[in-house]
């Protein structure tokens, strides 16, 4: 009798510089492909209109968040503009144990933390076709001052040097093609021996 082992799920980390389109690619993937769980982050910031607790974020008090940090309950966390954001370890662990894959969309600093605290992840770097294109995407958002744009570009240039620590590189030239590649990586990793 053949005996193919039931596999533990994979943790996929989708990262890349700010404004490269991580959120857009992830949303398109989840629309098209439901065989993966999105890792919902915890945050101390207030819910925005339409945001649902447990779907968009796990909303929690600063006290609770700090308690969970102490208990090593986040595989990564960060403070951004006085709000805390983090990835709950228990949700990730429990989902992987059932054999389901989990996907995490996260900035480069967060991905670095995951690499340290959770060695088994599959790290996917989403990169812009060029730095010029990235700048134009940041400009299009129209929400930033020139100084903030310059800082973002400086960070991006530095962050792209992190590529060689990743397992896969996807150039986000077209969303549909990037989604197709991401989906292929998820399916291929499941066939890995």
How far apart (Å, rounded) are the C-alpha atoms in residues 156 and 187?
A: 29
Which one of 29-37, 108-116, 146-154, 167-175 is the stretch in contact with its own copies (CB under 8 A)?
167-175
CB nearer its own copies, residue 84 or residue 123: 123
Which residues pair with residue 131 across a beta bridge? none
50 is a site residue for its own copies (CB under 8 A): no
First to last CA, the chain: 19
CB nearer its own copies, residue 65 or residue 168: 168
Shortest Cβ distance from residue 189 to its own copies (Å)?
Answer: 7
Binding region: 16-23
Binding region for ATP: 16-23
Contacts of 80 (CB under 8 A, 6+ apart): none
How far apart (Å, rounded) are the C-alpha atoms in residues 191 and 193?
A: 6
40 is a site residue for its own copies (CB under 8 A): no
How far apart (Å, rounded) are the C-alpha atoms in residues 102 and 87?
A: 12
Residues of this chain that interact with its own copies (CB under 8 A) are 1-2, 4, 124-125, 127-131, 160, 163-164, 166-171, 180-181, 183-189, 191-193
């Amino acid at each position: 009798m053949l005996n193919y082992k039931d596999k533990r799920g994979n943790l996929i980390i989708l990262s890349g510089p700010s404004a490269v389109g991580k959120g857009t690619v992830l949303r398109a993937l989840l629309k098209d492909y439901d065989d993966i769980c999105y890792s919902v982050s915890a945050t101390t910031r207030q819910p925005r209109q339409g945001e649902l607790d447990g779907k968009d974020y796990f909303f929690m008090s600063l006290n609770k968040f700090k308690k969970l940090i102490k208990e090593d309950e986040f595989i990564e966390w960060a403070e951004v503009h006085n709000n805390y954001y983090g990835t709950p370890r228990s949700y990730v662990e429990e989902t992987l144990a059932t054999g389901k894959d989990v996907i995490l969309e996260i900035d480069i600093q967060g991905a670095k933390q995951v690499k340290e605290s959770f060695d088994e992840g599959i790290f996917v770097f989403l990169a812009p076709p060029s730095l010029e294109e990235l700048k134009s995407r940041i400009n299009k958002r129209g929400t930033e001052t020139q100084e903030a744009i310059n800082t973002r570009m400086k960070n991006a240039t530095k962050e792209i040097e992190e590529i060689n620590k990743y397992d896969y590189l996807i150039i986000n030239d077209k969303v549909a093609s990037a989604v197709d590649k991401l989906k292929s990586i998820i399916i291929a990793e499941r066939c890995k021996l």
